Structure formats: C-alpha cells, structure tokens
C-alpha cells in the first residue's frame, strides 16, 4: 500500500494545481493568503507567478491567459479587499464564459461570522457571478474541491469558479492524495444531441433559399472553428459573427459577411430581416445583436444551438432549440446537408457591404485629410502585423474600431470584454495574453479613459519586460459616452471631457519606451518603431476629438434600421 504524505493545506493547494497542469498564476499576496505564498516561494521553479498591481488586474489577466492558451486561468487574492477587488473580473469572465479558477483566502474558521479584520462573505458576493463556488474549512477537502473546480470550470459552458480557503486550513496538515474528477453526480456538461433534431435541421437547411449562419463565442470555446469552416465550405452559406465570435472565421473567408450588432456591419444587420433561415451557433442573442426584439428576424425560421439550456428561448423564441455541443453538432450535421446556397443571396451581402465601404470604411481607414482616425491606425496595424497579432481592446470606441478594422486571420486572436463591457479590461488583459503567448505580437488598442482605470499594470509590464504594444487613442473624451451625448442629448457633454496626463512621460517613469503622434505624416514611421521595438512600447495617438463609430443601430430600433452616418438633427 502506498504511504500517503502528510502535508499542509497550502502545499496541497499547489500540488493539486500541478496535477491540473497549472504553471502560471496571477495574483497579489496578503495576510490571509500568506501560507500559500510561503509554499509558493519553495516551489518557485514549478510556477510562474505574475505579480500584478491590483487584484482586478489579476482577474482580467487570468481571463486573457485562458483565452489565448485554451487552459483555465488561475488567480490568487487575499481576504477582504483583495477578494472583493476580484468581483469585476469574475463577473467579466462569467458573462463571457471563460474558465478561471479564483482562489481567495479567508479569515481563520473560528472567526467566520464575527466581522473579523478583512472578513468578507465571498460566497454570497460571488454566487451570482460564478459557475460554482465553495468555502474550504477542512484541509482534507482541498484535493477533491480543486479537482471539482477544474471540472466545473472547463466542461459544458465554461466559466469561473471561486474557492474561498480559510487561513487555518492552509496551515493544517493531512494525508494528501489527488484524483482528477471526470464526472459529478447530477452535473451533465455534455448533452446528447437528438438525432431527430438533426434530420429536421438538415431538412430546413436544404429547403432554405436565404440562410444565414450567426457564429458566436461558443465556436471558439468549443474549439470548433475547423468544423465551422467545413460546414461553410459545404453549404456556401453566408456567415456573420458576434463581437466575441470575431476570429471564429477568418475575415477574408469568401462567405464571411461581417460582424453583427449595434456597431457591426451594414449587410448582416440589414439582411437579418430578409433571411428565411437563421442558424444561431453558440451565441446568446444579446440585446446589442438583436435591436428591437419584436422586429428581429421577421421572415426567418430560427434554429438555436447552444450547450447551455438556459440560453435556449431566453431572449428570442426560436423554431427549433437544440441543446448540444456546437462542435459535435457541426460534425454530425455536415453529412446530412445536400443543398448549396445560391450565389445570388451572398451577392446581396456584397452589394450592401460595398455601400458601407464607400460611405464609412473609406472615410475611416483612408481619410487623407483632417485629424488621424482610429480606424486608419487599426487598419495600418493589421497590415503591418500581417493580420497575425493577438489584438486586445479596452471598451468603447477603441473596442469597436479594433473589432471592425483589424482583419483577423486566426482563432482566439481578439481578446475583449463582451458581456460586461469593462473599461480598464485592456491593459491587464494584454498582460495575460502576452504571458500566455510570449512568442506572439500582442497589440492593445485602448482609449485615454479606459487606460487610466488600470494604468498601474504598467508596473507589471515593466517588471516582467512583457513586449506588449500599447496604442492609446487619445481624444480627451470618454468617446463612446460622448457619441451618445452628441446623438441623443444635443451635445450636452456632461463630464465626458477628460484632460489626460503626458502618457509617454508616464511610460518613461516605468522604463517603457514610448512616443506620441498627432500628425498623419508621422504615423507610419511611429507604428514601425513600435512594432519593431524589442520590448514593451506605448504609442499615444492624438485622434479626431468628436469622431463617431458608424454604422450604428440606435437604441430601440430594429436591425434593419441601422444607419451609416449621423442623421440626428
């Protein structure tokens, strides 16, 4: 019989992470989590710990790391404010379905419920925004609880989990044994696809004259981009993507017709209400995609495939709701399809996209005169990086410009905050993306507002010499809010005009190379200098102060009421 080793709870936590192939941790130490960090000191050669400057940064970095590696992220924080500082990042990961293991420390078990120093009820706080959470009050629970955490986080619809571990448990010793979990009673993460659904769907596809496939984030989460391409190649069906579905299909794929949503492309939004069949694959019909839901897809039968039963018929009542893993669905439906979408339907998208190109894209990407536009910067970066960079965005106008004008080639190369729309996400997410893919060029597009929310993570970039390329679009405004104020509040710019610091000087304080450009003639050389620099680089670009993002579906309007320019009085 194998003799079991008696070790502390803190060491058991680290050994359990090793069993789950974890080698990278994002975190910030503190009093209640000190025993874990003490053991981490002993196992320094087995882990790479990234010391962030704020716990929110650890959460966002761990999420981005998970997205670019395909492995769950891991994040440490101490009790009280350390743990509560994670909540925004946990919520962000939850809404975007990213597997992250959050491990927070807690006051010793005898002090629970006494309002002890830095005690916070993290189970109650995190319950609405995690897939699963658990408080560990006995050291013997650690192996099984960590195994469950990884199982829950990575199976079915992925998501964050939180383990709250009391300080005394970290010190207690017990006989350690680890066993990975392959199933949990009553938890069925992989639904069985109904064969009759397959036959019905195939018949609907074969009969459709104007089908449209909507590809969401689920394609990327299921690693189903190859199966999606096979489906498209067989059906010749046009495909549009959600914001988080960007990069699920290459932008130059002949059937790719653009991005859906409020600031998506003209053609897929307009023709949503002309399609006779819509196949929603791994997306959740977010309100930014549907517009006025009562006037959405008015002529179409809708098939919705999702791995999460709660999403089916939640926002849009569909003709056929299919509970399935999207990868399994695509593999099994392809042999059943016999018809090919007529080219005349795809040509309708081409015609409308040509209108958008003339009225919007040319003016944004090739303005020629006036102040620099964000779109032309993104377009130039796309060309100079051969479309191969990992693009991280913050939230706002910079996010829409990055998603619209970078021509994505490979899956999982857009890292952005979708469901929560978290300003400040960009800089720490760029940290996580670069740590996860050290050999890749990571470019961050951020605004002057969002950048300042987590600016302290420049210290993390400096400490680890992460070669992140940071582009700050500076218009001295909270750009997207200002756009809404212009369109809907008669230019009453209430608290959106924002003076900014000397960003290059700030970067210099952290030992990061930097530059600022305000003239178009300087832009090409400045981008080359940034991209060829060996190490991190910050480039501030002064852009048109009152530029807007179009096309746009105004709030309360239908998708086919999308406008290409400001038509407000």
Residues annotated as part of the active site: 55, 117-118, 167, 480
Please give the helix or strand (H or E) that residue 443 lies within, else none.
strand 442-447
Separation CA 156–CA 307 (nearest Å)? 7
Contacts of 110 (CB under 8 A, 6+ apart): 168
Q: List all residues 6 or more positions away from 8 whose beta carbon is below 8 Å from its beta carbon.
A: 35, 39, 139, 170, 171, 172, 173
C-beta neighbour count of 154 within 10 angstroms? 18
CA distance 435 to 329: 33
Distance of CA 32 to the CA centre of its chain: 30
Task: Of 513, 517, 474, 514, give the one whose Cα is nearest residue 497.
Answer: 474
Nearest to 58 by CA among 425, 444, 510, 428: 428
CB 530 within 8 A of CB 539: yes
Specify which residues 211 forms β-bridges with. 277
* 386 in Cβ contact with 406 (< 8 Å): no
Which of 398, 403, 400, 407 shows the shortest CA–CA distance to 427?
A: 398
In DSSP terms, 101 is beta-bridged to 74, 161
- Strands 320-323, 301-306: pairing is parallel
């Amino acid at each position: 019989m194998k003799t079991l080793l008696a070790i502390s709870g803190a060491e058991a936590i680290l050994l359990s992470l090793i069993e789950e192939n974890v080698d990278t941790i994002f975190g910030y130490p503190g009093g209640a989590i000190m025993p874990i960090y003490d053991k981490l000191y002993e196992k320094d050669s087995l882990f790479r710990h990234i010391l962030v400057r704020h716990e929110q940064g650890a959460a966002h970095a761990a999420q981005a790391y998970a997205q670019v590696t395909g492995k769950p992220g891991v994040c440490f924080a101490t009790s009280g404010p350390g743990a509560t500082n994670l909540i925004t990042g946990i919520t962000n990961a939850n809404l975007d379905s990213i597997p992250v293991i959050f491990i927070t420390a807690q006051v010793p078990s005898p002090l629970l419920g006494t309002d002890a120093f830095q005690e916070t009820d993290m189970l109650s706080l995190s319950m609405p925004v995690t897939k699963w959470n658990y408080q560990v009050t006995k050291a013997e629970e650690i192996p099984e609880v960590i195994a469950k955490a990884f199982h829950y986080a990575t199976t079915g619809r992925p998501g964050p989990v939180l383990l709250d571990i009391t300080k005394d448990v970290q010190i207690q010793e017990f006989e350690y044994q680890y066993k990975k979990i392959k199933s949990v009673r009553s938890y069925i993460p992989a639904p069985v696809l109904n064969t009759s659904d397959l036959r019905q769907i195939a018949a609907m596809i074969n009969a459709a004259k104007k089908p449209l496939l909507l590809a969401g984030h689920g394609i990327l989460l299921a690693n189903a981009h190859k199966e999606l391409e096979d489906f498209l190649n067989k059906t010749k069906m046009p495909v549009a993507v959600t914001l988080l579905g960007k990069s699920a299909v290459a932008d130059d794929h002949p059937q790719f017709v653009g991005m859906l949503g409020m600031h998506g492309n003209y053609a897929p939004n307009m023709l949503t209400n002309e399609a006779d069949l819509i196949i929603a694959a791994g997306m959740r019909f977010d309100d930014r995609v549907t517009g006025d839901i009562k006037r959405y897809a008015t002529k179409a039968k809708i098939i919705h495939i999702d791995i999460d039963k709660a999403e089916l018929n939640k926002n849009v009542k569909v003709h056929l709701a299919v509970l399935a893993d999207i990868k399994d669905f695509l593999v099994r439906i392809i042999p059943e399809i016999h018809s090919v979408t007529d080219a005349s339907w795809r040509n309708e998208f081409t015609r409308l996209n040509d209108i958008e190109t003339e009225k919007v894209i040319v003016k944004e990407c090739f303005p020629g005169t006036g102040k620099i536009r964000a779109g032309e910067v993104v377009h130039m970066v796309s060309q100079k990086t051969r479309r191969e960079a990992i693009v991280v965005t913050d939230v706002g106008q910079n996010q829409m410009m990055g998603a619209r004008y970078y021509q994505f080639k490979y899956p999982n190369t857009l890292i952005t905050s979708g469901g929560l729309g978290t300003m400040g996400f960009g800089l720490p997410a760029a940290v996580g993306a670069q740590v996860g893919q050290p050999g890749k060029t990571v470019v961050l597009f951020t605004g002057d507002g969002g950048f300042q929310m987590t600016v302290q993570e420049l210290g993390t970039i400096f400490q680890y010499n992460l070669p992140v390329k940071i582009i700050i679009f500076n218009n001295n405004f909270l750009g997207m809010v200002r756009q809404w104020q212009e369109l809907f509040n008669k230019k009453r710019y209430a608290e959106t005009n924002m003076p900014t610091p000397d960003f290059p000087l700030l970067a210099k304080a952290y030992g990061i190379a930097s530059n600022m450009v305000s003239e178009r003639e300087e832009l090409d050389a400045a981008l080359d200098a940034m991209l060829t620099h060996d190490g991190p680089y910050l480039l501030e670009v002064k852009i048109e102060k009152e530029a807007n993002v179009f096309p746009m579906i105004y709030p309360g309007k239908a998708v086919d009421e999308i406008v290409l320019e400001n038509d407000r009085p």
